[in-house]
Amino acid sequence: MRVAVIGGGSSGLVTLKYLITAHKFHPVEPIEARLFEARDSIAGSFRHRVYEDAELVSSKYLTAFSDFRHLPGDPDFLSTNSFCLYLDAYAAHFNLWPHISLSTKVESVKRCKGSGHIINFSFKGRSESWECDAIAVCSGLHTDPYIPPIPGIEHVPRAFHSAEFRLRKDFGEDKHVLILGAGETAMDLGYLAVTSPTKSVTICHRDGFYYAPKVVPVPVTFMTFNKSPAAQKNIPTDTTHMSLFDTAYVHPVLQLSPILWNYYDYWSVKFGVWLVSGTKHGLDQWAGGISDERFHASAIFPSKSGQAVPYISAQYRKYSLLDRIRASICQIPIKDTGDRKIDLAPWPKSISSEGVVKFTPTSRLEAETMRDVTCKPDIVIYATGYSQRFSFLDSSYGTPLEADRRGVWKTGDESVGFIGFVRPAIGAIPPLAELQAQLWVLSLLTLLPDQQPRDIDYKLYIKPGRREYEKYGVDHESYAYQLALDMGSAASFTEIIRLGFRTTFTWAFGSNFNTKFRLVGPWRWEGATEIMKTELWDVVKQSGGWVYIMIYGIIPFVIFGLASFVLWLAFSMLDIFRFIFGFFGEHCPSSRRAQREEI
């Protein structure tokens, strides 16, 4: 079998690795695979579209591939440069380089008569082709910069997309900076701008944002003895999801109901952040909240970049009597921003010939604040994300949104896989791409289990009218567990408990790290247990603080654990009742079977 991989980012590399090593795990002939990358190096956007001080918003524990971990001395959140070095080392460790064609641009992909595909590509000015049996599209979500139209933008001295931004010095001195967008890139650039010698910084948004910290906040409480900033350091948020009774061993009725989403929406997303910061719209986020119509845990992509938030909230914080009482009991440390601030504004409606921005009228608090402010930017930066285009594919190949098999391939067209296109609300794309690659390779080799597993509610419920990329949204924990179930890689409690206390504890009370799904199943790896009981145990055993562990851990663990137990017990008794009394027997006219037959 010959397989083409299009794209040399993290998704393409991990797909290539599973293709060329499949014969080591299964009784199949070695797969001939070739990766095509248009640039002269691997790592994609992590290497070619980064800016000063950029770092990942997902932790090294979750982001790392299952069988190639980061070094113990690495920081919890790697810089983009460090992650590129990690991908270089990954390619070397698994001997991927002989299968990688750099500076090789795929111009088109066409189907052969009968089956197979022809890859037409260019290399050093020459046009060539390569025939294969299957293709993995791994070109990523960050391809073409999206620049929404704004009437009059030509009257601004300088306007460019964030993909072009590199260094603080690009802001210049005494400049008025306007940033369009309120995602993680916008927040990063806002922070870089406000800590540079700029005259003013303004961030514009359409419908707000929600800031969820990438590190578990440690509030200072009335019981806190050491209130120094050093004592408030904590563990990455994405390592603290208790998977037992959240994804594993959750009764299907409970899992498919809105109860789980509603709990996390009220208690975690809203009440939890209010308790420690006084506002439900995001941690210490006093302006720019998401509209009530869209503000639900199941429908939003939190921003994990929060360095700009204190500068935004500085002019909006409230100090009512109720808030003072709450803060005296439980309050995260507030950063002193001095005389620096970031203005928040609605989306620009137009820009006059003099270069003055006219904002879209809204009833928001920040709109009232900016009503009498003259905003005349010297620099406009579009932190507006990217558009997805597959210009090298003809219409017969479809898009990832048409891939009905877990967003990876379309039923009946298993030879075309889309890897790395889902977007987790909180989590990381690389580990999900690894699980997708595992699933797709098994499908190519017709090695998927015959029995179809139950479906898990893993998709986000995006409201109509949102950008297309949001349609790729998933809950990381649920989606990872779904793929593991599909492959038969989700270990049972009886299988896990044999591996010792530390592995069992990490499996139950830690997030769905990919290594967890290498303990059993078709991609079982001997080194997985050691990682579970050392590196991952070391981070999972940390509580995150009593406030966090109660709201996000113990309370949902107890509630959903008991609920699932009651449901399992009730349905088991119902099955026994049906069996004994023939509740669904052919002589029971009230049975569902009889009803179906009558219909």
Task: Give the model confidence (pLDDT) of 487-504 as tens digits.
Answer: 999 999 999 999 999 999
**pLDDT band at 593; cut points 50, 70, 90:** very low
Residues 163 and 306 in one domain: yes
CATH (domain of 438): 3.50.50.60
| Amino acid 468: pLDDT | 67
Q: Is residue 255 part of a domain?
A: no
CA distance 333 to 219: 7
> Does 292 reside within a domain?
yes
Considering the domain architecture, whether residues 356 and 393 belong to the same structural domain is answered as no
CA 344 vs CA 281, 289, 355, 586: distances in Å? 15, 11, 18, 67
437, 456, 488 - which closes a domain? 488
Using alpha carbons, select from 31, 54, 225, 49 the residue that is nearest to residue 135: 31
Domain with 574, as residue range(s), is 556-598
Express the helix, strand and coil content of the chain in percent, nearest 5 each.
Answer: 40, 15, 45
Query: Are residues 44 and 169 both part of a single domain?
Result: no
Is 251 a domain residue? no
What does the pLDDT look like over 503-533, one tens digit per residue? 999 999 999 999 999 999 999 999 999 999 9
**Last residue of one domain, picked from the residues 488, 518, 534:** 488
Distances (CA, A) of 593 to 22, 573, 574, 579: 44, 19, 16, 14
pLDDT for residue 87 is more than 90: yes
Strand pairing report for 117-123 and 126-132: antiparallel
Task: Return the top range by mean pLDDT from 391-395, 546-550, 579-583.
Answer: 391-395
Q: At what angle do helices 429-444 and 10-21 cross, to 10 degrees?
A: 30
Q: Please, which residues bridge with residue 303 across strands?
A: 211
Residue 544 lies in a domain: no
Q: Are residues 132 and 32 in the same domain?
A: yes
pLDDT of residue 213 exceeding 80, the answer is yes
The Cβ-side half-sphere exposure at 309, using a 13 Å CA radius, reads 26
| 300 and 397 share one domain | no
Which of 462, 488, 514 is the C-terminal boundary of a domain? 488
CB 306 within 8 A of CB 211: yes
pLDDT band for 416, please (50, 70, 90 cuts).
very high
Number of domains in the chain: 3
Total-model pTM: 0.93
* Short-list 177, 196, 195, CA closest to 380: 177
312 located within any domain: yes
Give me 433's structure tokens. 């791409």
For the cut 80, the answer to whether the pLDDT of residue 534 exceeds it is yes
Residues 173 and 297 in one domain: yes
In a domain, 548, yes or no: no
Examine residue 193 and state whether it is found in any structural domain, yes or no: yes
DSSP labels, 512-542: --GGGGGSSSTT--TTHHHHHHTHHHHHHTS
Domain identity same for 151 and 41? no
> For residue 34, is pLDDT > 80?
yes
Two structure tokens written together for 233: 């350091």
Q: What is the pLDDT of residues 220-257, one digit of tens each?
A: 776 554 555 555 568 999 999 999 999 999 999 999 99
Strands 379-382 and 158-161: parallel
* Listed residue (296, 85, 341, 3) closest to 190, CA to CA: 341
Residue 287 near residue 366, CB atoms below 8 Å: yes
Same domain, 156 and 124: no
**Where do the DSSP E strands lie in 30-86?**
32-36
- Within 13 Å, how many C-alpha atoms sit on residue 136's CB side? 35
CA distance 193 to 175: 10
Give yes or no: residues 336 and 351 share one domain: yes
Residue 51 within any structural domain of the chain: yes
Does residue 161 register a pLDDT over 70?
yes
- More confident of the two residues 438 and 388: 438
Q: What are phi and psi of 524, to 5 degrees?
A: -55, 135
If asked whether residues 79 and 151 sit together in one domain, one would say no
Q: Are residues 382 and 472 in the same domain?
A: no
Kindly report, residue by residue over 323-378, the tens digit of the pLDDT: 999 999 999 999 999 999 999 999 999 999 999 999 999 999 999 999 999 999 99
Judge if 134 and 183 occupy the same domain: no
Query: Nearest CA to 435 among 472, 496, 495, 479?
Result: 479
